[in-house]
């Protein structure tokens, strides 16, 4: 518990830095520097976003109870300036101090001398192994890449103060695998981010895997955006859902996580935990109309894990859900408004429908699959009627309609296959239409509903002669 | 019956089959789900408030089969398979029975009733009768009496031996040179009664034709009866057991069956009269109590359901009164019960007496 709190504290600080960068309209740099002189790590998080105000840091106080004093002394050293300030303000904040005691210590400001910039630097010292912290931060940044926030360039610098004196640097830039310009919408970025994430086998590789994804068509991506209404009581919320379906015909690197899907969650441009609303939304979707059966949806802290009953082999589904406020807010922690289950459900459904719309035959509902199973039989009978007819003109008219060559030597198999193709395509197209259109055609005559008939009247089996009183031949 | 030569009819039907297939292909090539309209027919309804149109021979509505419902797709699948077989029968001028068709794909068809329904659907779609599709069945009915005809070259001379039974011809179209000296036609429900009459040499003493469907009458029997009535213009009397099933058989002869509702206008005999047995006969003919059997729960349910049929209110209210009396009394009896007085009571007393009664009513 203690351990994760320290990491969480650092992550929260980085997250605030990201928000500040987003608020600023310029390109920003975010640096996290870890100077390790065992057993102490000096963490420095600096950004060139808008200046911060002290309330941000006061809020951190509530979560810090869990951290033992041996891990962190509660001191934060903050330097911050806004673009309009002519000084850099420097504070020491002691979050462990009691309420009215002097928690805030102002230190002398540094003059900016007419230079125009803004930014914040937060430093703290913690007692922790560097590797655990490093993993978490790296993980965080990798997830952030999925969002592809355009204006933030992040770097992670590690200085090991041990014998080797190594200094290494990781840079996290949104990579441009697909063209994205500055004006791409958030959801376009999210799509691109998820695409890269999947192509790199969920960030286990540095570059996309060419053996599994040699052609672009192997990966099918769609998105859905659901917006809630803005009112004076609740801010406008947006839920973006992106779904990626990958099909590998043969895969060398494919690990057998086949029947499970990790649903990554983001809240206000930061990786977040899974909310109950989100789990409820996922379990309440009618997956059968997309040909899927959900076994369970479980919260695994940083992602939700969905288990499917059975997926076609080599098919893998990835999903990401991002909920955020329409207006950029500086204190995400303070936000009381959560997207409700309906908004999240709507977003995911829009993404699923988009996928079906763009790719015929994908995510066919269980109902459509059942009907498609009749296609070979239907095709065989129709082909039989055509080919066994005496009428040559009729046969050639049919060949014309089926776009087959007019020559006499068309095999039964060819005709059958062509008809089967057309039937399946019609069924798949009908499967895409929204549910409303699938209502039965209204009865033209009032009396059309089948009356309650005496069952003995209908379709009785024929019996042989014999029993003469109650035989029902017809 | 339709007055059209069978070869023209076959060509007509083959053309309709081709048109039907082309329309399906056209829909598929435009990416649309084919829609198959099948009209529905019925011989009665249970809506007693309105004056219904059940007797008008018009369809009472229609169904639209599409590829969107699984039950429809199964029905279309069976229909197409049977249609393929029918096309082959028509082209090769061969005949098959419904049972034969069932055995061609027993796994797909799973049940005879599935084939029967497909055949009916096809008849409605192509607007023809079942025999036009070359689907025939061996007739189950028997006929004897003052009748002579040729069937496919063979002579059936019942006039020379009026008490010899012959099977009803399978195809009414094959019946030629129908000649009769009969004064009426008697339809009996059961083979046992038919045999009783045969044994008693009923036709020697009465100039009539006796016919039985041996239970619910099949299509060849009904068509043959219809032919006799149309050609000979004789009165028709029907003798059934005094129980719900007997009554249902009478109704089938008179109004047609629901199963063959689409062809009812060619199969029913509206002139048929109910000779007996009536519930009131049990007193009038002194039937001892042991001959009266109680109506079972099934019998009562069936009787109540039949009483809801529109034609019992609109066309034959007198039949309804007898049926209500049967239900009230809660008893039923078979025709054979009339033999309690003597074996030949039926042939010598009951039937001639009843016919005399009807004739005298008509003369009034």
Tell me, yes or no, whether B325 and B255 share the same domain.
yes
Helix B244-255, helix B317-329: angle, nearest 10? 170
B253 is an active site residue = no
- Looking at residue A468, its pLDDT comes to 38
Q: Chain A closest CA to B361's CA: distance in Å?
A: 31
Interface contact B77-A378, CB threshold 8 A: yes
Residue of B nearest to A393 (CA): B18
Interface contact B113-A456, CB threshold 8 A: no
Percentage of chain B lying above the pLDDT 90 cut = 63
Interface contact B46-A470, CB threshold 8 A: no
- Looking at residue B73, its pLDDT comes to 93
Q: Among B114, B136, B158, which residue terminates a domain?
A: B136
User: What are the chain B neighbours of A452 within 8 Å (beta carbons)?
Assistant: 46
Residue positions counted in chain B: 364
Q: Which of B46, B218, B219 sits opposite A451 (nearest CB)?
A: B46
- Looking at residue A9, its pLDDT comes to 81
Query: pLDDT-derived band of residue A127, with 50, 70 and 90 as boundaries?
Result: confident
Residue A300 has pLDDT above 80, yes or no: yes
Is B51 in CB contact (< 8 Å) with chain A?
no
- Contacts for B145 with CB less than 8 Å, ≥ 6 apart: B158, B162, B182, B203, B208, B209, B210, B211
Report pLDDT digits (tens) over A198-209: 877 776 666 666
ipTM over 0.90? The verdict is no
Q: Which of B18, B28, B99 sits opposite A462 (nearest CB)?
A: B99
Interface contact A473-B191, CB threshold 8 A: no
Supply A174's token pair. 């949104």
Chain A and chain B share a number of CB contacts under 8 A equal to 159
Q: Between residues A239 and A177, which one has the greater pLDDT?
A: A239
Residue A470 has pLDDT above 60, yes or no: no
Query: pLDDT-derived band of residue A449, with 50, 70 and 90 as boundaries?
Result: very low
How many CA atoms lie within 13 Å of A332's alpha carbon, on the beta-carbon side? 24
Interface contact A457-B257, CB threshold 8 A: yes
How far out from the chain centre does Cα A190 lie? 8
Task: Find the domain containing B251 and state its range.
Answer: 142-362
User: What are the chain B neighbours of A470 within 8 Å (beta carbons)?
Assistant: 215, 245
Residue B251 has pLDDT above 90, yes or no: yes
Q: Chain A closest CA to B206's CA: distance in Å?
A: 25
Tell me, yes or no, whether B263 and B357 share the same domain.
yes
Contact B258, B214 (CB under 8 A): no
Query: pLDDT-derived band of residue A383, with 50, 70 and 90 as boundaries?
Result: very high
Supply B231's token pair. 């050609």
Report pLDDT digits (tens) over A12-56: 888 888 888 888 877 888 888 888 877 788 888 888 888 887 777
- Contacts for A191 with CB less than 8 Å, ≥ 6 apart: A221, A223, A242
Tell me, yes or no, whether B100 and B162 share the same domain.
no
Q: Which of B26, B108, B258 sits opposite A401 (nearest CB)?
A: B26
Q: Chain A closest CA to B219's CA: distance in Å?
A: 6
- Looking at residue A289, its pLDDT comes to 85
User: What are the chain A neighbours of B214 within 8 Å (beta carbons)?
Assistant: 465, 468, 471
- Looking at residue A47, its pLDDT comes to 87
User: What are the chain A neighbours of B33 within 8 Å (beta carbons)?
Assistant: 426-427, 430
Helix A186-199, helix A130-147: angle, nearest 10? 130
- Report how many domains make up chain B: 2
- Looking at residue A471, its pLDDT comes to 35
Mean pLDDT (chain A) is 76
Which position among B102, B103, B245, B285 bears the catalytic label? B103
- Looking at residue A190, its pLDDT comes to 85
Contact B101, B85 (CB under 8 A): yes
Residue A198 main-chain phi, psi, to 5 deg:
-70, -40
- Looking at residue B49, its pLDDT comes to 76
Query: pLDDT-derived band of residue A80, with 50, 70 and 90 as boundaries?
Result: confident
Residue B255 has pLDDT above 60, yes or no: yes
Residue A234 has pLDDT above 70, yes or no: no
- Looking at residue B72, its pLDDT comes to 92
- Contacts for B24 with CB less than 8 Å, ≥ 6 apart: A382, B34
- Looking at residue A73, its pLDDT comes to 77
3-class secondary structure, B93: coil
Report pLDDT digits (tens) over B161-176: 888 899 998 888 889 8
Report pLDDT digits (tens) over A266-278: 888 888 888 888 8
Which of A77-91, A229-243, A442-456, B246-260 holds the top average pLDDT? Answer: B246-260
Contact B169, B151 (CB under 8 A): yes
According to DSSP, the β-strands at B208-212 and B142-145 are antiparallel
User: What are the chain A neighbours of B298 within 8 Å (beta carbons)?
Assistant: none
Interface contact B190-A473, CB threshold 8 A: no
Q: Among B99, B118, B136, which residue terminates a domain?
A: B136
User: What are the chain B neighbours of A432 within 8 Å (beta carbons)?
Assistant: none
User: Which of A274-278, A334-338, B267-271 has the lowest average pLDDT?
Assistant: A334-338
Residue A231 has pLDDT above 80, yes or no: no
Tell me, yes or no, whether B163 and B70 share the same domain.
no
Supply A353's token pair. 């429908």
Residues linked to residue B209 through DSSP beta bridges, in sequence order: B145, B185
Which of A20-24, A48-52, A403-407, B85-89 holds the top average pLDDT? Answer: B85-89
Tell me, yes or no, whether B35 and B92 share the same domain.
yes
Residue A252 has pLDDT above 70, yes or no: no
Residue of A nearest to B334 (CA): A469
**What is the spatial distance between Cα A96 and Cα A64, in angstroms, rounded to a whole number?**
8
Query: pLDDT-derived band of residue A336, with 50, 70 and 90 as boundaries?
Result: low
Q: Which of A381, A389, A447 sits opposite B60 (nearest CB)?
A: A447
Q: Between residues A434 and A179, which one has the greater pLDDT?
A: A434
Interface contact B47-A447, CB threshold 8 A: yes
Q: Compute CA distances A43 → A68, A90, A114, whole Å.
A: 17, 17, 29
Mean pLDDT (chain B) is 90
Q: Between residues A168 and B236, which one has the greater pLDDT?
A: B236
Q: Which of A374, A422, A441 sits opposite B74 (nearest CB)?
A: A374
Q: Which of B67, B111, B259 sits opposite A458 (nearest CB)?
A: B259
User: What are the chain B neighbours of A375 within 8 Å (beta carbons)?
Assistant: none
Interval A345-366 mean pLDDT: 86
Interface contact A474-B259, CB threshold 8 A: yes
**What is the spatial distance between Cα A353 and Cα A432, in angstroms, rounded to a whole number?**
8
Interval B82-88 mean pLDDT: 95
Query: pLDDT-derived band of residue A212, with 50, 70 and 90 as boundaries?
Result: low
- In chain B, which among 237-256 make CB contacts under 8 A with chain A? 241, 245, 248
Q: Between residues A78 and A207, which one has the greater pLDDT?
A: A78
User: What are the chain A neighbours of B126 within 8 Å (beta carbons)?
Assistant: none
User: What are the chain A neighbours of B64 within 8 Å (beta carbons)?
Assistant: 441
Interface contact B112-A397, CB threshold 8 A: no
Q: Compute CA distances B347 → B167, B201, B337, B338, B352, whole Å.
A: 22, 9, 13, 10, 7
How far out from the chain centre does Cα B27 lie? 38
Interface contact B22-A426, CB threshold 8 A: no
**What is the spatial distance between Cα A340 and Cα A346, in angstroms, rounded to a whole number?**
10
Percentage of chain B lying above the pLDDT 70 cut = 98
Rounded to 5°, angle at Cα B145 from B143 and B148: 85
- Contacts for A232 with CB less than 8 Å, ≥ 6 apart: none
Tell me, yes or no, whether B264 and B344 share the same domain.
yes
Q: B364: exposed, middle or buried (C-beta count within 10 Å: 0-12, 13-18, 19+)?
A: exposed
According to DSSP, the β-strands at B208-212 and A87-94 are unpaired
Check residue A10 and give left, alpha or beta (phi > 0: left; psi -120 to 50: alpha): alpha
Residue of B nearest to A365 (CA): B68
Buried/exposed code over B158-175 (b: 16+ C-beta within 10 A; e: otherwise) = beeebbebbebbbbbbeb
Q: Among B136, B158, B185, which residue terminates a domain?
A: B136
Place of tokens 């987003």: A22
Residue of B nearest to A384 (CA): B84
Q: A258: exposed, middle or buried (C-beta count within 10 Å: 0-12, 13-18, 19+)?
A: middle
Supply A225's token pair. 């955006």
- In chain B, which among 283-312 make CB contacts under 8 A with chain A? 302, 305-306
Tell me, yes or no, whether B147 and B131 share the same domain.
no
Q: Which of B26, B68, B192 sits opposite A438 (nearest CB)?
A: B68
**What is the spatial distance between Cα A471 and Cα A474, in angstroms, rounded to a whole number?**
10
- Looking at residue A178, its pLDDT comes to 45
Interface contact A445-B74, CB threshold 8 A: no
- Residue B330: give its domain's CATH number: 3.40.1360.10
Supply A432's token pair. 């895409």
- Residue B88: give its domain's CATH number: 1.10.10.10
Tell me, yes or no, whether B173 and B124 share the same domain.
no
Query: pLDDT-derived band of residue B325, with 50, 70 and 90 as boundaries?
Result: very high
Tell me, yes or no, whether B183 and B283 share the same domain.
yes
Q: B37: exposed, middle or buried (C-beta count within 10 Å: 0-12, 13-18, 19+)?
A: exposed
Q: Which of A426, A457, A459 sits opposite B67 (nearest CB)?
A: A426
- Looking at residue A204, its pLDDT comes to 67
Interface contact A469-B24, CB threshold 8 A: no
Residue A472 has pLDDT above 60, yes or no: no
Residue A70 has pLDDT above 80, yes or no: no
Residue A224 has pLDDT above 60, yes or no: yes
Interval A144-158 mean pLDDT: 80
**What is the spatial distance between Cα A123 and Cα A107, in angstroms, rounded to a whole number?**
14
Q: A426: part of which helix (H) or strand (E)?
A: helix A412-432
Q: Chain B closest CA to A447's CA: distance in Å?
A: 7
Tell me, yes or no, whether B30 and B172 share the same domain.
no
Residue B2 has pLDDT above 50, yes or no: no
Tell me, yes or no, whether B109 and B159 share the same domain.
no
Q: Between residues A440 and B105, which one has the greater pLDDT?
A: B105
Report pLDDT digits (tens) over B192-201: 999 999 999 9
Tell me, yes or no, whether B351 and B277 share the same domain.
yes
Tell me the residue ranges of DSSP E strands in B33-140.
Answer: 36-40, 61-65
Interface contact B31-A426, CB threshold 8 A: yes
3-class secondary structure, B322: helix
**Dihedral, CA atoms, B199, B205, B211, B215, nearest 10 degrees?**
-50
- Looking at residue B363, its pLDDT comes to 72
Q: Between residues B128 and A88, which one has the greater pLDDT?
A: B128
**Is the pTM higher than 0.95?**
no
User: What are the chain A neighbours of B29 within 8 Å (beta carbons)?
Assistant: 401-403, 422
Report pLDDT digits (tens) over B18-75: 999 999 999 999 988 899 999 998 888 888 777 787 878 888 889 999 988 889 999 9
Roughly how many angstroms between the first and final C-alpha of chain A, as a whole number? 80
């Amino acid at each position: 518990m203690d351990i994760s709190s320290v990491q969480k504290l650092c992550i929260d600080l980085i997250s605030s830095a990201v928000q500040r960068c987003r608020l600023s309209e310029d390109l920003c740099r975010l640096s996290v520097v870890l100077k390790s002189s065992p057993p102490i790590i000096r963490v420095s998080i600096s950004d060139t976003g808008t200046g911060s105000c002290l309330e941000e840091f006061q809020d951190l106080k509530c979560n810090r109870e869990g951290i033992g004093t041996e891990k962190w002394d509660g001191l934060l050293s903050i330097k911050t300036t806004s673009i309009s300030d002519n000084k850099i303000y420097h504070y020491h904040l002691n979050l462990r101090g009691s309420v009215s005691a002097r928690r805030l210590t102002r230190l002398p400001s540094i003059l900016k001398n007419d230079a125009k910039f803004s930014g914040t630097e937060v430093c703290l010292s913690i007692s922790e192994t560097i590797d655990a912290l490093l993993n978490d931060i790296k993980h965080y940044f990798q997830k952030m890449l999925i969002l592809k926030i355009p204006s933030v360039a992040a770097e992670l610098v590690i200085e090991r103060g041990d014998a080797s004196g190594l200094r290494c640097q990781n840079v996290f830039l949104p990579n441009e695998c697909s063209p994205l310009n500055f004006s791409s919408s958030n959801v376009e970025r999210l799509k691109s981010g998820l695409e890269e994430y999947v192509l790199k086998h969920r960030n286990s590789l540095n570059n996309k895997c060419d053996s599994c994804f040699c052609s672009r068509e192997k990966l099918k991506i769609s998105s859905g955006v659901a917006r809630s209404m803005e009112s004076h009581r609740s801010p406008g919320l947006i839920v973006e859902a992106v779904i990626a379906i990958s099909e590998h015909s043969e895969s060398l690197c494919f690990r057998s996580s086949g029947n499970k899907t990790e649903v990554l969650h983001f809240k206000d441009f930061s990786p977040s935990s899974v909310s109950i609303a989100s789990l409820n939304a996922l379990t309440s979707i009618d997956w059968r109309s997309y040909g899927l059966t959900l076994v369970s949806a479980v919260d695994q802290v940083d992602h939700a894990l969905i288990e499917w009953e059975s997926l076609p082999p080599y098919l893998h589904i990835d999903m990401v859900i991002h909920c955020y406020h329409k207006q950029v807010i500086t204190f995400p922690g303070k936000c009381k408004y959560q997207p409700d289950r309906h908004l999240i459900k709507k977003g995911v459904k829009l993404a699923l429908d988009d996928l079906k719309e763009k790719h015929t035959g994908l995510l066919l509902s269980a109902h459509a699959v059942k009907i498609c199973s009749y296609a070979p039989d239907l095709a065989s009978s129709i082909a039989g009627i055509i080919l066994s007819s005496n009428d040559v003109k009729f046969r050639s008219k049919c060949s014309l309609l089926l776009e087959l060559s007019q020559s006499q030597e068309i095999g039964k198999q060819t005709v059958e296959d062509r008809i089967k193709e057309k039937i399946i395509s019609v069924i798949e197209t009908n499967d895409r239409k929204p549910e409303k259109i699938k209502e039965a055609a209204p009865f033209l005559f009032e009396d059309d509903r089948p009356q309650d008939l005496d069952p003995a009247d209908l379709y009785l089996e024929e019996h042989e002669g014999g029993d003469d009183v109650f035989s029902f031949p017809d | 019956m339709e007055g059209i030569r069978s070869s023209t009819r076959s060509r007509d039907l083959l053309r309709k089959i081709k048109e039907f297939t082309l329309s399906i292909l056209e829909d598929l090539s435009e990416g649309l789900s084919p829609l198959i309209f099948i009209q529905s027919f019925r011989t009665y309804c249970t809506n007693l408030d309105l004056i219904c149109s059940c007797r008008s021979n018009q369809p009472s509505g229609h169904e639209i089969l599409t590829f969107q419902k699984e039950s429809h797709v199964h029905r279309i699948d069976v229909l197409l398979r049977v249609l393929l077989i029918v096309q082959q029968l028509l082209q090769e001028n061969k005949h098959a029975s419904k049972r034969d068709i069932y055995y061609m794909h027993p796994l797909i068809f799973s049940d005879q009733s599935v084939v029967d329904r497909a055949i009916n659907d096809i008849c409605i779609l192509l607007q023809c009768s079942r025999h036009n599709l070359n689907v025939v069945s061996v007739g189950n009915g028997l006929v004897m009496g003052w009748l002579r005809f040729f069937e496919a070259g063979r002579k059936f001379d019942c006039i020379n031996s009026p008490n010899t039974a012959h099977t009803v011809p399978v195809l009414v179209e094959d019946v030629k040179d129908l000649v009769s000296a009969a004064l009426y036609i008697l339809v009996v429900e059961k083979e046992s009664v038919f045999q009783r009459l045969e044994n008693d040499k009923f036709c020697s003493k009465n100039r009539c034709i006796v016919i039985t469907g041996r239970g619910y009458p099949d299509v060849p029997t009904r068509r043959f009866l219809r032919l006799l009535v149309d050609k000979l213009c004789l009165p028709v009397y029907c003798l059934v057991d005094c129980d719900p099933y007997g009554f249902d058989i009478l109704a089938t002869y008179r109004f047609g069956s629901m199963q063959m509702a689409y062809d009812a206008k060619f199969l029913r005999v509206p002139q048929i009269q109910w000779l007996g047995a009536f519930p009131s006969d049990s007193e009038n003919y002194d039937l001892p109590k042991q001959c009266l059997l109680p109506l079972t729960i099934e019998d009562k349910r069936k009787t109540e359901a039949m009483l809801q049929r529109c034609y019992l209110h609109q066309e034959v209210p007198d039949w309804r009164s007898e049926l209500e009396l049967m239900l009230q009394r809660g008893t039923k009896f078979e025709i054979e019960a009339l033999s309690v007085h003597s074996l030949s009571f039926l042939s010598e007393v009951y039937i001639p007496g009843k016919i005399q009664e009807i004739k005298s009513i008509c003369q009034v």
